[in-house]
């Protein structure tokens, strides 16, 4: 077969990352913050009324979470021996 490019039946090796302890703690804090936000949004209290969220406030929350996640991702390193 002229021009045939052989393909491997073996999957690509997985890339593994090292996460510093501080970055791991940041991930846990972000997870906990997201859970608190979900609990707050889902709370049904006797005096509960409709929750009003402004788009810019919600956008600020998402932007803040994205910034915090960026710090975590930027602190990840590819583990030795796992570079493709």
* Residue 55 counted as domain residue: yes
- Is residue 6, in this structure, part of any structural domain at all? no
Whether 25 is in a domain gets the answer yes
Number of separate domains in the chain = 1
Which pairing describes strands 77-78 and 17-18: parallel, antiparallel, or unpaired?
antiparallel
pLDDT at 1: 47
Domain that holds residue 33: 17-43+51-78
d(CA 25, CA 14): 24
pTM for the whole structure = 0.68
Residue of 83, 72, 79, 80 lying closest to 18 (CA atoms): 79
Looking at the domain assignment, is residue 31 inside a domain? yes
Q: Is residue 11 part of a domain?
A: no
Q: Let me know if residue 83 belongs to a domain.
A: no
Tokens of 27: 């991930």
pLDDT in tens, 24-58: 999 999 999 999 999 888 887 777 777 778 999 99
Instruction: Decide: 17 and 81 in contact? Cβ < 8 Å.
Output: no
- Specify if 74 maps to a domain: yes
- Residue at 1 is within a domain: no
Half-sphere exposure of 37 (CA within 13 A, CB side): 12
């Amino acid at each position: 077969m002229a021009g045939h490019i052989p393909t491997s039946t073996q999957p690509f090796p997985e890339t593994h990352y090292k996460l510093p302890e501080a970055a791991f703690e940041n991930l846990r804090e972000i997870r906990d913050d997201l859970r608190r936000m979900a609990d707050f949004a889902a709370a049904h209290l006797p005096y509960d009324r409709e929750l009003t969220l402004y788009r810019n406030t919600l956008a600020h929350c998402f932007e803040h979470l994205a910034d915090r996640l960026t710090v975590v991702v930027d602190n990840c390193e590819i583990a030795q021996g796992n570079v493709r």
